[in-house]
């Protein structure tokens, strides 16, 4: 099993974020779960990768040629894939992974998270998606998503597919024990789609 970890290229303002990234990386290694991430040597992404590597875990980085050219690649990974574009980067990270977890981060982290979650909603994949709510970082986002449900732009059943946990062990337990349900959408009626495998 491998988990794709989305994380900030900064360590953030509070020490809890760095601690959470290190805990997640170490736990994945302890559990024999590979870590797939954006391949950088900076920020929370670098912290998570270093923690997993320190425990002997598998860490696969996927980075663009542009970022690699700025010496942002982690040089001690199990494997580093260098790809032409951000689209290639995200697609390969998704292909290599069985689940997705977002640590605290900025707009790049959010964009990757929402794309993976959208793919699950549309039936492109049936892989679980989660927020690691370290230090309550995602409290307001989770509340906003509840508001989106109330305003009828998101079904409650789809909202519930996004795991939100503040403890790394509880997070892994939820990813393992709560498979993504297939919820037919209007698209199914149009295209005759079948549930994802």
* Domain assignment of residue 174, yes or no: yes
pLDDT of residue 71: 84
Q: Where are the alpha helices (DSSP H) in 12-138?
A: 15-30, 43-54, 65-69, 86-96, 107-122
Which CATH number belongs to the domain containing residue 105 in this structure?
3.40.50.450
Q: Which pLDDT tens digit goes with each residue over 16-67?
A: 999 999 999 999 999 999 999 999 999 999 999 999 999 999 999 999 999 9
Mean residue pLDDT of the chain comes to: 92
Average pLDDT over residues 171-188: 77
* Res. 179 pLDDT band, cuts 50 70 90: confident
* Domain assignment of residue 191, yes or no: no
* Domain assignment of residue 54, yes or no: yes
* Domain assignment of residue 194, yes or no: no
* Domain assignment of residue 186, yes or no: no
What's the domain count of the chain?
1
* Res. 85 pLDDT band, cuts 50 70 90: very high
* Domain assignment of residue 185, yes or no: no
Host domain of residue 116: 2-179
Reduced to 3 states (helix: H, G, I; strand: E, B; else coil), residue 35 is strand
**123 contact partners, CB below 8 Å, separation of at least 6:** 182, 185, 187, 188, 193, 195, 196
pTM above 0.85, yes or no: yes
Using CA atoms in the order 150, 154, 160, 164, what is the torsion angle rounded to 10 degrees?
Answer: -90
* Domain assignment of residue 107, yes or no: yes
pLDDT of residue 123: 87
pLDDT of residue 191: 52
The residue that leads in pLDDT, 69 or 100, is 100
* Res. 81 pLDDT band, cuts 50 70 90: very high
| Per-residue exposure over 13-50, b if at least 16 CB sit within 10 Å of its own CB, e if not | eeeebbebbbbbbbbbbeeebbbbbbbbbebbbbbbbb
* Res. 180 pLDDT band, cuts 50 70 90: confident
* Domain assignment of residue 187, yes or no: no
């Amino acid at each position: 099993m491998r988990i794709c970890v989305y994380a900030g290229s900064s360590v953030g303002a509070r020490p809890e974020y760095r601690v959470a990234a290190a805990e997640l990386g170490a736990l994945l290694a302890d559990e024999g779960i590979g870590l797939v991430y954006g391949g950088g040597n900076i920020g929370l992404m670098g912290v998570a990768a270093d923690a997993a590597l320190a425990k002997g875990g598998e860490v696969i980085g996927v980075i663009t040629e542009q970022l690699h050219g700025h010496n942002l690649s982690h040089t001690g990974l199990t494997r580093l894939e260098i790809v032409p574009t951000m689209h290639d980067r995200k697609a390969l990270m998704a292909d290599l992974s069985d689940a997705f977890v977002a640590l605290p981060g900025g707009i790049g982290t959010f964009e990757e998270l929402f794309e993976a979650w959208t793919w699950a909603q549309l039936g492109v994949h049936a892989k679980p998606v989660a927020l690691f709510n370290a230090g309550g970082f995602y409290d307001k986002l989770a509340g906003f998503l509840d508001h989106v449900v109330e305003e009828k732009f998101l079904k409650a059943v789809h909202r519930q597919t996004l795991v939100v946990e503040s403890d790394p062990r509880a997070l892994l337990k939820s990813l393992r024990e709560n498979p993504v349900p297939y919820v037919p959408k209007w698209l199914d009626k149009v295209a005759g789609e079948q549930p994802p495998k």
